Structure 1
Amino acid sequence: MKIEELLKNKREKIIAIAAKHGANNVRIFGSVARGEADEKSDIDLLIDYCSERRSSWFPLPLIRELEALLGGKVDIVTEQGLKDRIRERVLKEAIPLGEMIPNACGIF
């Protein structure tokens, strides 16, 4: 199964896992977003997070759970964590995985 198909088929689970860990507004960027991914490509995700719900281990538990679901390497970054030299490109190519969850900090 191609990585794009895997993401499409697991979209709702990815969003639910992200929300469970206090993350929201999940967006795909990098080779997957550009349609250049192959079976060895990692999955780059840009997220927003609720600092009130974030554990001191964040984003490690989120990454581990997503890697188990998707069967491959997942990289997580927030907009604040983007380096200046790639910020514009990442924000331009980022594709939303789903709708933003209103009040994500207070849903649990």
Structure 2
Amino acid sequence: MTTIVQNIIPVLEKYGVKKASLFGSYARGTQDQQSDVDILIDPPAGMGIKIVHLQRDLEATLQKKVDVVSYNGISRYMKNNIMSNQVSIL
């Protein structure tokens, strides 16, 4: 996970993200070659469509599928699971 995080942080900082966590298989340490990277962010004000650019930049950097979710965009059905299993990276 350390290498993934080292590669993620500069991209997040480029977009002004100040708070981020991993969740899912990378947070649990159960990832494999097919696993995507799930990232929970607190986006800066006015990020809007740039979240799509952030996701694409992360995918290009990591050479993996990346799902970016904002804290405000978490489904209420998934919120407890995500929040209890997140690993802060920024």
Q: TM over 0.5: same fold? A: yes
Output the amino acid matched with 2:71.
E
Secondary structure, in 3 states, of the residue corresponding to 2:50?
Answer: coil
Q: Which residue does 2:37 correspond to in 1?
A: 43
CA drift at 1:67:
0.7
Between the aligned partners of 1:31 and 1:11, the Cα distance in structure 2 is 14
Residue 23 of structure 2, aligned match among 22, 29, 34: 29
Is the 8 Å Cα contact of residues 15 and 24 (structure 1) preserved in structure 2?
Answer: no
Residue 58 of structure 2, aligned match among 54, 66, 90: 66
Secondary structure, in 3 states, of the residue corresponding to 1:27?
Answer: strand
Please state if 1:86 is matched with 2:66: no
Between the aligned partners of 2:65 and 2:19, the Cα distance in structure 1 is 20
> TM-score scaled by structure 2?
0.88
> TM-score scaled by structure 1?
0.75
CA drift at 1:22:
2.3
Q: CA-to-partner distance for each residue in 1:70-96, whole Å, 9 max, x for gaps?
A: 110000001110000110110110001
Segments of 4+ moved more than 6 angstroms: none
Between the aligned partners of 2:29 and 2:37, the Cα distance in structure 1 is 12
Between the aligned partners of 2:28 and 2:58, the Cα distance in structure 1 is 21
Residue 69 of structure 2, aligned match among 65, 77, 80: 77
Is the 8 Å Cα contact of residues 41 and 68 (structure 2) preserved in structure 1?
Answer: yes
Identity of aligned residues (%): 31
Secondary structure, in 3 states, of the residue corresponding to 2:18?
Answer: strand
Between the aligned partners of 1:10 and 1:92, the Cα distance in structure 2 is 21
